[in-house]
Structure 1
Amino acid sequence: MDHKINFTPVEQSFLNTISRNSTTNVPYIAVDNFPNLGMLTAFRFLEWVSENPKGVISLPTGKTPEYFIFWTQHILENWDQEEILALRKKHHLLLEAKPSLAELHFVQIDEFYPIKSSQANSFYHYVNKYYIEGLGLKRENALLINCDEIPLANGKHFADVFPNNKVNLELRYREPENPLEKLQKESIFLIDNWCSEYEQKIRQLGGIGFFLGGIGPDGHIAFNIKGSDPYSTTRLTATNFETQAVAAGDLGGIEISRERLVITIGLETITYNKNATAIIFAAGEAKAPMIKNALELPPSNLYPASVLSSLENGRFYLTLGAASMLNDFIDDYYHSGTWSQEKTDKAVMLLTQKLNKYAEHLSLEDLQSDQYTRLIPNLNENTVESVITSIKNKIKKGTELLSHEVFYHTGPHHDDISLGLLPYIHYQSRNETNESHYSVLTSGFTAVTNNFLIEILSNTLSFIEKGEIEMLNYPDFFDVGYKNKKDKDVYHYLINIASENADERSRAVSHRMARNIIELWNLKTIQELKTKISDIISVINASYDGQNPEPKIQTLKGMIREYEEELVWAHFGVRTKNIHHLRLGFYTGAIFTEKPNRERDVIPILQQLRTINPTVISLAFDPEGSGPDTHYKVLQAIAAAVREWGKEKDLSQLKIWGYRNVWYQFHAADITHIFPVSLNGMSTMDESFTNSYLSQVNASFPSYRYNGKFSHLSIQTWVEQLQAAQLILGKPYFYDNDSPRLRATHGLLFFKEMNVEEFLQSARELEQSTEGV
């Protein structure tokens, strides 16, 4: 970017050296973490509103706006309070009067089609709850997308025109084959006409003055997916797999989102007002490739967010992770601060990838010619060897056999521990002097689809009616017996994996479901159990896909996940008493989960630490707060518990292992341990995942990176990490090694060991940014 960037006073208060000297197509500002991203965006929004009190705004839906919404409300509600006054001074928002949002015009960005406006997972509902009501906007000043009110042929409702909510856009281009298709074709053109009128209404307002949007995994903004015309306007359109995978959580599974169309404003809708302030905000390393493409490559319909380059007031607000692949950011990393072995490792690894050249073949001239490796202090013939040694030492640490350790493995969700660490856990668990505990901190019920629950309930009811759940006939079963022998349910299932008896595996699941339902509803007879199962099926059948169920059904879904977790670790001989289900209360399935609090969420972890007395704690490590929000909220709760525990005993020898899995990855230079994974290790993880995580095998909530099981995505990550390390160590290091373990290596697992102070420092930085939230 050649012209001078006119950052506003608020923006200047958040600037750092990197963003100030931006060379990208669109200026950007990078902040430390997700909560601070929300604060920056809220201050800039209020600054704009103070100058445009009757302006036209368009704000996003989903989880990304969580802290933007919080900070906007918090600042306005506490405008003259000491805390907010200090923040306003710091961020240059010293106005004579508090900004009023009452006269703003609001434009809804997008919506699924079709979807009932009354559904809590519709964007129409979100906009009304968090923006119209939450920010006090006037409904009469809002342009909204209410699918129930979009006129269709013969005045019919979409439920009658589009059975099963399926809209076939091919009808735009071919003749209908029956009366229903004729009705649908006419209706599609009426929807198209409504979209044109919506676009015209926006333009009659002068276009959008303040646009705030996220960026999708394919680079989309609004629902303008990769390949969208930069001159596109409001329209009814289909999406791609990446977008459907992200929407699966809203709609109740990829099976639904794959079929659902969307109505979205276009790229030209966003840029129509050339004076518009248009902001894309993004958090996390997973977004870094999309950000790099949008900001550094020539504007193209392959990178929809690149249209912001046509606006003088276009901006990207990013976390450090989201900015991490930008050339500015990389330059600053190497040119600022003290040099370290980590920087040397990264620079040399990057050079091997640029040149596609093994480290041993790098010449001193190669190192001296590269913009980053030439910065290495005392650069010489031994520099590359220091990197090779560094990586070898991490493998040595990773393969060291530990003894007399007490492991406390934690996961935000079920399957996180398995996907992140299972081959290494299996390796260390063979030493019987070690003791392992597995604690899943949330119930994870959102990962269980309604269809899956109905299938299990129907099977359970069938087994009961056939008299094939014999334990129900034990005299004291409905009083106390249902609590006993849960290990037997696990064994019953696993033994029938070995014998390949699918019907008996289903019966084992039904045993556990019967116990769970009796416990939750305090049932006393077989008839009550049958009636309750039928009632639950009826309730689920009457709900819409993606609907947040009532609390007891939430718990029942979570108990399915808990049984699955027990099945995984039972593969390795772990008893249910060593598997802990904390069900922390902040996890409710709401769009924005609560911040953990001490009594409800921290004390249960602290009590486990006191009881188990671990020497090692493992956790999903997301210090930026940019992965799934459950991850960093669990991290906060664990950090608070460790801090409390440290007041009671000396934790100087306690080790903290930070792992990552399918959501984001470590760089080899950032970690302390590398563990070689064999084909056998991969197979063991994949088979235990497939055999145990029954609700996840069909991947109703897949990663946008891979249309399949998470276990396959973990394996793919390990393979990619090996490929990067092979450029440093050379392939013969593995296949010609004296160690059979290294010769069998086909993937590498990374994790980072920290002492307590290092861990708490990372967590503290995030905690400080969320104080008051």
Structure 2
Amino acid sequence: MSNDLAAFEKIPVKIFNTSEQASIFVATEIAALIKARQQENKPVVLGLATGSTPTRVYAELVKMHKKEGLSFRNVHTFNLDEYYPMQPDSLQSYVRFMGEHLFDHIDIPKQNINIPDGTLPKEKVGDFCRDYEKKIDDLGGIDIQVLGIGRTGHIGFNEPGSTERSLTRLVTLDQVTRIDAASDFFGEENVPRKAITMGVGSIMKARKVFMMAWGEGKAAVIKKAVEGPVTDQIPSSFLQKHPDCLVVLDEASSSELVRKKTPWVLDSIDWNDKLIRKAVVWLCFKLGKPVLKLTNHDYMEHGMGDIITEYGSAYKVNIKVFNDLQHTITGWPGGKPNADDSHRPERAKPFPKKAIIFSPHPDDDVISMGGTFIRLVDQGHEVHVAYQTSGNIAVFDDDAVRFADFVRDFNTEFGLSKADGEKFYQKVVSSIKGKGPGQIDSAEVLKIKGLIRRGEAKAGGRYVGIPDEQMHFLDMPFYETGAVKKKPLGEEDIKVIMDLLQKIQPHQIYAAGDLSDPHGTHRVALAAIFEAVNRLKNESWMKDCWVWLYRGAWQEWDIDQIEMAVPLSPDELMRKRRAVFKHQSQKDSAMFPGSDKREFWMRAEDRNHATAAAYNALGLAEYEAMEAFVRHKF
């Protein structure tokens, strides 16, 4: 990479294709230092983070310990933070998190593990924090500090307003941070308002810092931390002053950096069709012009003169990009029969096609691509839906009680065993009443909640027009923990997907490519599909199977990425809304809404309207709404 391309970056940045590759890099760096110090008979002091970001790093370190004999006998660790108050055996405790992800699987001496104590009386917290700092200093300071980054730009629990010299202390959590943590605690009201955290100053004393971020959801704050001014409103920006900090990103989290988003404004680049389309779309929105009104001067003034040199005139570039965009639009997502498909995103043949829509949760199909789903069915294709997980943890307790009550009354009304119905009802109510905030439901309650989601999914599928036998409930094992934290993707999960694909042998696969899902289910669900498809790639039917990625409730594809845009009329949009409304347990107030307070159907419609408006602003036809897809090629 040319130095010019990193000109806006005030902290060194290393970008990997995937978060897995990035995590392996960080784990390898940590392991190398541990081994070097062992040869010198010296200890290593690590500063560790929690949350979803470092989990793969810890998994790699565990793997190195078990398969390569990497020892942690000389390692001392200091965790960044802990909620306050917090019992160490609570589901949300970072003591428990670190045990499950790292400490229980390696040979680190227990006395070498240091995590802020969330059980202390408040009057003793100050002394504890001072002792925590002293213990780090007495060991010679932290050698490597591992960090994630929060949506507010926080590192540890150093919220906006934290000073550069702040040390370990008790802090009040920002509202955004509490909202982001709500899913772990089964509701924002259960999230502690305070935490003990190492300070920005504590972090800055570390000799080496790795700050990691994955996914599109972190792209905006990474840009602020790396390219923006140093400010206490973005505490991670203080790392611009650190002598040895490396920001480690995957492609998605780096997408807002200048070198990724608009590299042509920094340096000469090797233009290709994809980059030209990206640059022209950016230029249109920057200038507020449709594609066909861009001029030579517009290109020259914005670092894109090389394109004009290659094509001869803005007119020729404009026509090329306009046609590229036009060719993404189709009202026939399964392909139009007996039509010239040379400029269409989907093949005309075979017709009709067999399609599988993979839905990570029981409502992602209609929320994310309900209009396309309806079109595929209306146009005569054989459409299957595979609901990858039960979605049971996203149902409120009140709904479970209501359905248990229905069972009791049903038994009474239809002359069945009244005693059994009453016994079942009381067991469910007792279980729910005896459950503390964030505790796992009983097996019976989880089953009820899963059946509620399944019934809603069936209602949605029937409304769209597919028979029950074309709805497949996979209940992938990785999800069925009863807690927000899931198991890693396993062979059983991949086999479930492979078996279904082999049975149906589809011509189209639709999958959720929305990796900003804050709870990680979409990411694991997609990884299972990719692995299954990769293993089946030599099957004869797979050679004529295309994979289309949609995005869900969290965001949409950028216009320059879209390869198929399916327009929706006002009536079709209303049909989509009604299909989403079949998911009554997620209506009005979902268990895990994330930071966006809008209902899921509102988010989806706003996003579909915005995609149509963007196409219109570029000078293409004006539609009510659009659903967007990107084709994944293996």
Question: TM-score scaled by structure 2?
Answer: 0.87
C-alpha distance after superposition, 1:433-478 (max 9, x if no partner): 3222211112222323xxx23x23433454455x45567536xxxx
Task: Give the SS at the match of 2:627.
Answer: strand
Kindly tell me: are residues 608 and 126 of structure 1, through their superposed partners in 2, closer, same or farther at Cα, counting changes over 3 Å? closer
Q: How far 1:199 sits from its partner (Å)? A: 4.3
1:268 correspondence with 2:201? yes
Task: Give the SS at the match of 2:355.
Answer: strand
Q: 1-side partners of 2:465 and 2:476: how far apart?
A: 26
Kindly tell me: are residues 417 and 463 of structure 1, through their superposed partners in 2, closer, same or farther at Cα, counting changes over 3 Å? closer
C-alpha distance after superposition, 1:383-414 (max 9, x if no partner): 11222222122124667657623221111222
Contact 1:19 1:28 in 2 (8 A): no
Kindly tell me: are residues 688 and 192 of structure 1, through their superposed partners in 2, closer, same or farther at Cα, counting changes over 3 Å? farther
Q: Which residue of 2 aligns with 1:286?
A: 217
Q: How far 1:51 sits from its partner (Å)? A: 4.8
Counterpart of 1:268, as a letter, is G
Contact 1:59 1:211 in 2 (8 A): yes
Q: Which residue of 2 aligns with 1:560?
A: 452
Q: Which residue of 2 aligns with 1:133?
A: 104
1:660 correspondence with 2:551? yes
Counterpart of 1:297, as a letter, is G
Q: 1-side partners of 2:497 and 2:249: how far apart?
A: 32
Task: Give the SS at the match of 1:147.
Answer: coil
Kindly tell me: are residues 255 and 19 of structure 1, through their superposed partners in 2, closer, same or farther at Cα, counting changes over 3 Å? farther
Task: Give the SS at the match of 1:48.
Answer: helix
The percentage of aligned residue pairs carrying the same residue is 23
Q: Which residue of 1 aligns with 2:600?
A: 710
Instruction: Give the helix-richer structure, 1 or 2.
Output: 1
Contact 2:356 2:508 in 1 (8 A): yes
Q: 1-side partners of 2:499 and 2:104: how far apart?
A: 40
C-alpha distance after superposition, 1:737-772 (max 9, x if no partner): xxxxx3xx1x33210235xxx2xx2xxxxxxxxxxx
**Equivalent residues in 2 for 1:333-732, closer than 5 Å:** 339-372=271-304, 374-375=306-307, 377-380=310-313, 381-396=315-330, 404-431=352-379, 433-448=380-395, 452-453=396-397, 455-463=398-406, 467-469=409-411, 473=415, 525-551=417-443, 553-589=445-481, 591-597=485-491, 600-621=492-513, 629-643=520-534, 645=536, 647-695=538-586, 697-704=588-595, 706-729=596-619
Q: 1-side partners of 2:194 and 2:336: how far apart?
A: 53
Contact 1:236 1:261 in 2 (8 A): yes
Contact 2:537 2:543 in 1 (8 A): no
Kindly tell me: are residues 350 and 40 of structure 1, through their superposed partners in 2, closer, same or farther at Cα, counting changes over 3 Å? same
Q: 1-side partners of 2:133 and 2:598: how far apart?
A: 38
Q: Which residue of 2 aligns with 1:748?
A: 626
Task: Give the SS at the match of 1:222.
Answer: coil
Q: How far 1:543 sits from its partner (Å)? A: 3.0
Counterpart of 2:390, as a letter, is S
Question: TM-score scaled by structure 1?
Answer: 0.72
Q: How far 1:645 sits from its partner (Å)? A: 5.0
Structure whose alpha-carbon radius of gyration is higher? 1
Q: 2-side partners of 1:41 and 1:390: how far apart?
A: 40
1:71 correspondence with 2:60? yes
- Alignment counterpart, residue 118 of structure 1, candidates 89, 92, 95: 89
Q: 2-side partners of 1:582 and 1:218: how far apart?
A: 36
Q: 1-side partners of 2:184 and 2:252: how far apart?
A: 25
Q: How far 1:293 sits from its partner (Å)? A: 1.0
Q: Which residue of 1 aligns with 2:243?
A: 312
Kindly tell me: are residues 673 and 457 of structure 1, through their superposed partners in 2, closer, same or farther at Cα, counting changes over 3 Å? closer
Indicate the larger mover: 660-669 or 643-652.
Answer: 643-652
C-alpha distance after superposition, 1:684-727 (max 9, x if no partner): 444443442414531331223x1232222222322333343333
Counterpart of 2:30, as a letter, is F
Contact 1:426 1:572 in 2 (8 A): yes
C-alpha distance after superposition, 1:484-541 (max 9, x if no partner): xxxxxxxxxxxxxxxxxxxxxxxxxxxxxxxxxxxxxxxxx44234323322332333
Q: How far 1:650 sits from its partner (Å)? A: 3.4
Matched residue count: 611
Indicate the larger mover: 541-550 or 199-208.
Answer: 199-208
Contact 1:25 1:296 in 2 (8 A): yes
Counterpart of 2:283, as a letter, is L
Counterpart of 2:430, as a letter, is S
Q: How far 1:34 sits from its partner (Å)? A: 1.5
Q: How far 1:583 sits from its partner (Å)? A: 0.7
Contact 2:161 2:233 in 1 (8 A): yes
Kindly tell me: are residues 336 and 608 of structure 1, through their superposed partners in 2, closer, same or farther at Cα, counting changes over 3 Å? farther
Backbone CA RMSD of aligned residues? 3.1
Q: How far 1:72 sits from its partner (Å)? A: 0.9
Q: How far 1:29 sits from its partner (Å)? A: 0.9
Task: Give the SS at the match of 1:652.
Answer: helix
Give unmatched runs, 5+ long, in structure 2. 338-350
Kindly tell me: are residues 632 and 144 of structure 1, through their superposed partners in 2, closer, same or farther at Cα, counting changes over 3 Å? closer
Kindly tell me: are residues 564 and 224 of structure 1, through their superposed partners in 2, closer, same or farther at Cα, counting changes over 3 Å? farther
Kindly tell me: are residues 366 and 310 of structure 1, through their superposed partners in 2, closer, same or farther at Cα, counting changes over 3 Å? same
